[in-house]
Structure 1
Amino acid sequence: MAHLHCLPPSVEPRVSEHMPQIIDMIKQIIDSGCAYSIDGDVYFSVDKFSKYGRLSGRKLEDNRAGERVAVDSRKKNPADFALWKSAKEGEPFWGSPWGPGRPGWHIECSAMSATYLGYSFDIHGGGMDLIFPHHENEIAQSCTACENSNVSYWIHNGFVTIDSEKMSKSLGNFFTIRQVVDLYHPLALRLFLIGTHYRSPINYSDVQLEKASDRVFYVYQTLHDCEVLLSLHNNVNRKDSIPPDVKSCINKFNDEVLVSMLDDLHTPVALSALSEPLKIINDLLHTRKGKKQELRIESLAALEKTIKNLLFILGLMPTSYSEVLQQLREKALKRAKLTEDQVLQKIEERTTARMNKEYEKSDAVRKDLAAVGIALMDSPGGTSWRPAVPLAMQEQQVVAV
C-alpha cells in the first residue's frame, strides 16, 4: 500500500482484543430498551429504533426475511439482528453476562470505532454492498448506545468489475495488487483508480492500465523536463509577474480542481484539469514560439508549482521524476518481454535501414516495437524510445485524465 502512496492507518484494532468494549456497548443497548436476550443470544430490536433504514432508504416492510438464512423463530421481528451469539461447538468464544459466545458481525465495528474515534466522527467508509444491512445496523447500534452518535459523511465505493461483472474470489475473476504492480507501476494503478469517481464501478482491463501508465509517463516526463530547465536558471532573478494567459490558465485550473474536489471528491474532473497547464509547459519547453515567450522561466515555475500541488493532494507526487520514469520504462520492457539492449539493437537496425534507404524495413521495426508498447522518437540527436500504449489498444476507450 505504501507503493500506492496510501497513508497507513493510525490504528488497526482486532476484535479479539476489544471484548470488554463490545460487551459494554451491548449492555448499553439493552439498557436503552432496544435489545433483548434469549437463551444466551442477544438481538437488536429494529422496531424500537424509529430511524432504522435512514441510510439505505429501505423500509422494514420491504425486507424479505429468510432468503439468505433461515429465520430464527425466537426473534420478536424477523429483521432483528444478533449483537451476541451463544457459543457453538468448534467456534471460538468469550465469557459474557449472557453466557459464553461471540459478538455479532455488526457490533464489533460500532464498539471499536467508538473506542478510537468517539461516538461522533466525520467519515465512515466501505463498499456499496455494506450500506445494508451492515452500516444500517451500525447506525442503529451506535445511536441506541449513545443518543449523540453521528457520522457526518458515509463514503461508499463502487465495485471493481471485469467485463462489467463484479470482481470476486468466488467467481475466480480477481487480481491482487501485487500481481498488477508486477507489470504496471503503482502510480499508474493509482491514477487508473482515481480516474473514476469513487462511488462508480471501475471496469478493470489491461487497456485501461496501459493508458493510465502512458498518461503517468507523459505527466512525469513533462515535469522532469521542466525541472531540468528550471535548475539551469536557479541564479536568475525571476520576476514575480507572469503573462496574463498563463495566470488565467492557473486560476482556471485551481477553480476547476477546487470545485471538483468539493463535489464529493470528483477526482476524474480534477485530473482532466491537468491537460491545459501540461500542454502550455510543453509548448514553452519545446516549440519555437514558446521558447521566445516573455517571462518563460517564470511561467514554467508557476505552472510546475500549480501541478505539483494537485499531484500532492491526489497522492501522485513522486520523490523523483527521473526514478519513476526509469521504473515505468522497466515495467514497459517487462510487458513487452524485451530487454533494453534488445530495443537499442532494434533502433540500430532501423537506423541502418534508413541510411540504406530500406524504408519498408525501418517502418517494420517501428511497427513491431509499437505493437508491444515501445514507441520510437526521432530527433536531431538520434532516436530514443519511451513506453506507449500498444497499437492494438490505442483505439479503445481512453482513461479520462
Structure 2
Amino acid sequence: MTFNPENYRCDFPILDQLVNDEPLVYLDNGATTQKSLAVLEAIQDYYHKDNANVHRGVHTLAERATKRYEEAREKARAFINANSTKEILFTRGTTTGLNWVAQHARTFLKPGDEILISIMEHHANLIPWQEACRATGATLTYVYLKDGQLDMYDLAAKMSEKTKVVALAHVSNVLGTINPIKEITAMAHQAGALMVLDAAQSVPHMAVDVQDLDVDFMAFSGHKMYGPTGIGVLFGKQHLLEEMVPVEFGGEMIDFVSEQEATWKELPWKFEAGTPNMAGAIGLGAAIDYLTAIGLEQVTAHEQELMAYTLPKLSAIDGVTIYGPATAKDRAGVIAFNIDGLHPHDVATALDYEGVAVRAGHHCAQPLLQYLGVPSTVRASFGLYNTKADCDQLIDAVLKTKEYFHGTL
C-alpha cells in the first residue's frame, strides 16, 4: 500500500493551525516530533483511570498502573528486538542513557585507554566521554569525515587494542548521515571494545534491531518518535547491565536495606530509582504502537522520498550551501544549510514568517560545526506527517528570504 502522509496528519491536531497567517509547516522534527492523538489519549486515560504508583501497592489502581507500565517496556523491547525486558531501562531520554553508560565506563577505563567517537556527535554523546576521560586519564579520539560521511579508513586506522569504547550516532542530527553501525560494531568487538549507539535520530525513522547490529548499549528518546518528553530507553546487553552499578539510589530500586548497607532489585528495576515516569512510559508505548501500525519501512521510504524531492530543489538555489552527503540515499530526513551572507537565525526567523518552523544554531554539535567552518546552520528535518507541499513551502520561503535580504532571486 502506498504511504500517504495526509492519512495521518489528522492524528496530529497541532499541525492544523496558521502561523503568521500561513499554514504551519513543521520541519523541526530532529528537535522534537509532534504527538499523535493516540499518545495524548493514552496519557490522559492513565491519569483519568489508573493513576497510581507502580510496583508498590496491591490495590487495583496500582496493579493496573504497573501492568500498563510493564506492557510499555515489552513494547519497547519488541520495537528494537532486544532479547529480554531486563535489557530495557526507562530513562529521561537519550542524554540520561548515554551518561549512565559513560559513568559505568569510569569503572574500567585507565590512562592509555582510548574512547573512539566521531566529529559529528551530539553533545550528549560527547561531553559524557570527555568527562570520563578527565576522570580516568583515558584519551578521547575522533574519527573525521569524507564527503559528509564517516571516513571509514580513518576509523580503521584509529581502532586499536587501546580502544575500549566506540560511541557513535546512528544518524547525525546535523548532516543526516547514516553510519554503517553493524560494520563498525564488528570492528569494535574485534578490537575488544564496547559499542555504544546514540539512536535518537534513527529509531523514529527506520527499523533498528539491536541483536542484528550487535551493539552493547543503545539509547533513544520518546519525544523524537512522536511520544512524550521526559521518557527514553537505554538498551544494554543483560550481562553488561548486571555488571553496572546504578547511578541513582532509593525508592523502588532497592531489595533490602539495613542501617549500613543495601542490596538492589534485579534487572531492569535496579536502575529505576524513585517514582518513575509512568505516564511517559505509557505514552511511549502508545507511540510505539502507532509507528508499528504504520510500519517503519513505510516511514523510511516516505522520508527518503521527501529528501530526494527537496535536496535537488534546495541545492539549485544560488547562494545556498548544503552540508552532509550530496545524495539523498546516503542521508536520513535532515538537511542543514546556509544562505550566503545571512545569519541562520535571520533565515529561520524569515522562514517562520512564512509558517515554516526550522531549527537554527549549532544543534548541540559545536565541534562538528567548527570542523565545517561555520558557527551555525539552518536545519530542516522531516517526519512522517510532512508532505511534498511542505517541502515546496520550504523552498518558496527560502527564495522569498533570499529575495528580501539580497533583492534578487
Which structure shows the bigger proportion of residues in helix conformation?
A: 1
The structure having more radius of gyration, on CA atoms, is 1
Which structure has the higher relative contact order (CA within 8 Å, separation 6+)?
2
| TM tier relative to shorter chain | under 0.3
Which structure shows the bigger proportion of residues in strand conformation?
A: 2
